Amino acid sequence: MIDIDELDEKFSIEGEVGFGELENELVFVTVSNKYADCDICLYGAHVTSFKPRNSMEILWMSPESNFEVGKAIRGGIPVCFPWFGPHKTDPEMPQHGFARLMYWEVIKTETLHSGETLVRLQLCSSEETKVWWPHDFCAQMTVTVGLILTVSLKITNTSSVPFDYTCALHSYFGLSSIENLAIEGLQGTSYHNQLESGDAVQEDPILKIHEAVTRHYYDTEGPYIIEDSIYRSRIQVAKAGSKVTTVWNPWAEASATMEDLPDDGYETFVCLETVNAFDNSIHLAPQESHETSEMIGLEVKVYE
């Protein structure tokens, strides 16, 4: 049971950081500073909203998302850990790991000298996590809210034996329409097409999406631009500590089968995900850490 008064007492910052039950009794940290507003759900360490001051919402949330313990939130930035996608050997295990299905603990809030706000959440191994994964670990999700939103997932191996994990910051970006989307920054990179089980190289400087897409781009550094010609927006997505970038849109047929997505939900978002998986799973020796980070900001382009 989360005690909101206790959280407030320990971690609220007047006029800047607060706590409350926002969606169906799930507890959120709300951040508001001179740069932006941001909501982070403690369930999953899940950023559900990032709105730079005087600007549009950057992230997309499904209007039919579950906000219920035991189910994943659809939209925002799901944290996938300690595996990305289906479990390697056991189809009964939750897709994308268990980190997005657990409450994280708040361990720090701070106003930085820049006026940005830092919020740090933590999930460490316990009897509950060991039902799914046998390893001792500590995961920290640091969210820094400024004109740029930085989300950083740091995993530390707190055991005496090495382990491997995969992970993703599975970000959903809002669009006027998928037809108006152009993603820049992937030209010349090879990718695995999960839907056709084949590999290819992206020749075009711009990726446009006209059908279901699940592509895992290898050896990618970023940054990327998500351009929306009707919103006249250019969202820049940069990353660090990640070698794979996944682009996902389910399109109509799959959307219709997903209970937490409207049938036409695919029309107004794209996922551009900061990933470590496949040939780039992370190996951690005892006491070693690795950080996977994503930096998201809006660039306003004036069209002639």
- Residues with catalytic roles: 170, 273
CB 245 within 8 A of CB 221: no
Instruction: Identify residues 23-52 at the interface with ligand TA6 (CB under 6 A).
Output: none
- Nearer residue to ligand TA6 within complex by CB, 109 or 249: 249
Site string for ligand TA6, 59-98 (x = CB under 6 A): -------------x------------x---------xx--
- Tell me if the bond preceding 52 is cis, omega within 30° of 0: no
- Nearer residue to ligand TA6 within complex by CB, 228 or 273: 273
Measuring CA to CA, which residue among 32, 26, 27 is closest to residue 13? 32
Site string for ligand TA6, 95-114 (x = CB under 6 A): xx------------------
Contacts of 130 (CB under 8 A, 6+ apart): none
Least Å from the CB of residue 72 to ligand TA6: 5
Length of the chain: 304
Least Å from the CB of residue 84 to ligand TA6: 7
The size of the interface with ligand TA6 (CB under 6 A), counted in residues, is 9
Least Å from the CB of residue 145 to ligand TA6: 24
CB 49 within 8 A of CB 57: yes
- Nearer residue to ligand TA6 within complex by CB, 72 or 209: 72
Q: In the structure encoding, which two tokens stand for residue 40, read together? A: 């982070």
Q: Which amino acid is at 279?
A: D
CB 137 within 8 A of CB 125: yes
- Nearer residue to ligand TA6 within complex by CB, 48 or 246: 246
> Cα dihedral angle (259, 95, 189, 299), rounded to 10 degrees?
60
Exposure pattern of 150-180 as b/e (b: 16+ CB <10 Å)? bbbbbbbbeeeeebebbbbbbbbbbbeebee
Instruction: Identify residues 223-252 at the interface with ligand TA6 (CB under 6 A).
Output: 246, 248
CB 21 within 8 A of CB 103: no
Q: Tokens 């940069």 — which residue?
A: 238
Candidate list 48, 214, 292, 293; residue touching ligand TA6; CB under 6 A: 214
Least Å from the CB of residue 219 to ligand TA6: 18
**Rounded CA gap, 299 and 287, in Å?**
39
The 10 Å Cβ neighbour count of residue 195 is 13
- Nearer residue to ligand TA6 within complex by CB, 214 or 233: 214
**Rounded CA gap, 91 and 279, in Å?**
21
Least Å from the CB of residue 5 to ligand TA6: 33
Instruction: Identify residues 273-292 at the interface with ligand TA6 (CB under 6 A).
Output: 273
Least Å from the CB of residue 231 to ligand TA6: 24
**Rounded CA gap, 103 and 96, in Å?**
16
Q: Tokens 């300690």 — which residue?
A: 82
- Nearer residue to ligand TA6 within complex by CB, 233 or 249: 249
Instruction: Identify residues 147-186 at the interface with ligand TA6 (CB under 6 A).
Output: 170
Q: Which residues bind ligand TA6 (CB under 6 A)?
A: 72, 85, 95-96, 170, 214, 246, 248, 273
